[in-house]
Amino acid sequence: MRLAFSTLGCSGWPLTEVAALAKESGWTGLELRAAADEPVHTGLSAAGRAQARRDLDGTTILCVASYVKVAADGDDDRCVADLLAHAALAADLGAPAVRVFPGAAEAGPAADDRAVRRLAAAAPLLPDGVRLWLETHDSHPRGVDVARILAAVGHPGVGAIWDVLHPWRTGEAMTVTAAALAPFLAHVQVKDVKSAAERTPLALGAGTVPLTTALDLVRRLGYDGWLSLEWESKWYADAGPLPQALADSRRWLDKAAA
């Protein structure tokens, strides 16, 4: 499978350095974290967006990784506007998707309803070639949680990211996650940690996440997309440098494939 990484692991790096790491490491796809402290954000001018594309030449931009929380309390119109602003950024950068979070303070029918309303409202208004990807995360960490929302939205412009950590750490069997997300699966994030409670990033294969099971299930689903390493060093000070994590994880993946 093709390999990618999130710029969460190299937060604040100039985009030329990000592109150089992608080329040198062989992890040539990118999830671009979009935030005020990053080179990429919705406040970029047209000229800034064009320069970002030039700086990232030679890489494949997979998504703009936004922090829009579609199930959170708040105003629907504001959330939809934020989704569309990130979608416009993705279109300008040549990215086919925007990553979004559930982000509710409390899971339940009301949170589901908010997410469904907002995703359904935004989906028909997306720029051509751009989708929204809802990640297994925070208030909706399991595959069945995300699948429930996406089934209710019922629009091809909205798909799922399977972050392999969160369904597993909350006790959902990987076979259940795979079956739930199969109709919606657009992207796969891989990571490893010591345990469900101790989540400092480890190179793939160095922790306890059943990654071989996840990879086998992904293959059985016929998934032909990217595997993306989300190295959360921005949130975990003890995590090692991203370049070493990419090298170590690549070695493990090569052995697993053999």
What tokens were used for 166?
A: 């969160």
- The values of phi and psi at residue 16, to 5°, are -65, -35
Number of domains in the chain: 1
Q: Give the pLDDT confidence score for residue 257 in this predicted structure.
A: 85
Q: Give the pLDDT confidence score for residue 249 in this predicted structure.
A: 98
Q: Give the pLDDT confidence score for residue 148 in this predicted structure.
A: 98
Distance CA 142, CA 136 (A): 6
Q: Which CATH number characterizes residue 236's domain?
A: 3.20.20.150
Max intra-chain CA distance, the chain: 50
Residues of the chain with pLDDT under 50: none
What 8-state DSSP symbol labels residue 127? P
Q: Give the pLDDT confidence score for residue 193 in this predicted structure.
A: 98
pTM to 2 decimals?
A: 0.97
Q: Give the pLDDT confidence score for residue 258 in this predicted structure.
A: 78
Q: Give the pLDDT confidence score for residue 120 in this predicted structure.
A: 98
- The values of phi and psi at residue 178, to 5°, are -60, -45
Range(s) of the domain holding residue 147 = 2-257
H-helix or E-strand spanning residue 99: strand 97-101
Matching residue, tokens 């030679």: 58
Q: Give the pLDDT confidence score for residue 1 in this predicted structure.
A: 79
What tokens were used for 31?
A: 């999830």
Distance CA 2, CA 170 (A): 28
Yes or no: say if 66 and 100 are a contact pair by the CB < 8 Å rule: yes
